[in-house]
Amino acid sequence: MNRDALLDFLSRLGVPESNRAHMAEHALKRARQISSERGIPEAEALEGVCRLLREGWAGRAGGGAGSDIQPWPILESCALHDYAIFRTRTDRVRSPRTGREHDVYLITGPDWVNVLAFTPACEIVLVQQYRHGTRQVTWEIPGGIMDAGETPERAGARELLEETGYEGDPAIALAKIQPNPSFQTNTCHTVLIQNVRLVRAPSPDAMEDLAVKLFPEAEFAEMIADGRIGNALVAVADLWRRLWREGRLHPRATPPSSLS
């Protein structure tokens, strides 16, 4: 790929014209460096650089037409450590506004699911457990890490049954939110399960010491206000609950699925 072809590639990516020449020169320079360091052909190295650029500029929707804010191209990416429940990664990125390069550090991992579970009497199912990050015992709604390939609905029904022994109507996906988009890449989903009933004893993980209790739905918001619930993602779930009760959130239902 020569310089003109690279400029055309950047144009098709949507890179502003004022930035293309600078980015093309850097891409060619970086490809030569990679070629020398790794002993691979420059064309192969440039292909890898272009792939990172393409990934960095994918999905530009969000700023809207005419927006001056653009995604930052990824010039290089390197995995750091694997901690089982999450991984760390560093990306070398460039600011489209200044052209300066920066190293950013990310926490990557599976999506999470939280469950709003209500009995026919409008009681909410809560779990009490110890959280080592804050060294506190707190009340939360059931939830956990989604398995690979799981939908939020299936993961939510599984977590509810495992942590509490309750199951109910088919799970409904209420909403999703990004826990901290500055350095986390995952999403937290909230699902709704109504008419739950106790069907078996809980089967928590080895690192989970849980107590399960039903509370009146009206007390849920009070527990957040008075500090008995301190988890920010649980507080967000209360927002989804309120919007749903007010008819301002329109969840989508999916067919029930087996937990076996």
The pLDDT of residue 257: 39
198 by DSSP, 3-state: which? strand
Separation in Å, CA 47 to CA 14, 43, 144, 172, 208 = 18, 6, 39, 43, 46
Confidence (pLDDT) at 250: 75
Tokens 């927006």 -> residue = 67
Instruction: Say what the pLDDT of residue 256 is.
Output: 39
Task: Please say whether the beta carbons of 81 and 88 come within 8 A.
Answer: yes
Measured torsion, CA atoms of residues 95, 99, 101, 102, in degrees rounded to the nearest 10: -30
> How would you classify residue 253: left for phi > 0, otherwise alpha for psi between -120 and 50, otherwise beta?
beta
pLDDT at 65: 44
pLDDT tens for the chain, 260 residues: list them: 678 888 888 888 777 777 788 888 888 888 888 888 888 898 888 888 888 777 666 544 444 444 567 889 999 999 999 998 999 999 999 998 888 899 999 999 999 999 999 999 999 999 999 999 999 999 999 999 999 999 999 999 999 999 999 999 999 999 999 999 999 999 999 999 999 999 999 988 888 889 999 999 999 999 999 999 999 999 999 999 999 999 888 775 443 333 33
Task: Determine the residue type at 8.
Answer: D
What is the predicted pLDDT for the residue at 66? 43
Which residues, in sequence order, are bridge partners of residue 159? none
Rounded to whole angstroms, the Cα distance separating 13 from 6 reads: 11
- Separation of alpha carbons 215 and 211, rounded Å: 13
112-253: CATH topology: Nucleoside Triphosphate Pyrophosphohydrolase (3.90.79)
Tokens matching residue 37: 């360091």
pLDDT of residue 56: 66
- 45 token code pair: 């190295």
Alpha-carbon Rg for the chain in angstroms: 23
Give me the half-sphere count of Cα atoms (radius 13 Å) on the Cβ side of residue 52: 20
Q: Please tell me the predicted confidence (pLDDT) of residue 68.
A: 66
Distance between CA atoms of 147 and 156, rounded to whole angstroms? 11
Q: What are the domain boundaries of the chain?
A: 3-58+68-108, 112-253
DSSP tag of 68? S
Residues 6+ positions from 43 with CB-CB distance below 8 Å: 1
Give the strand pairing for 252-253 and 172-177: antiparallel
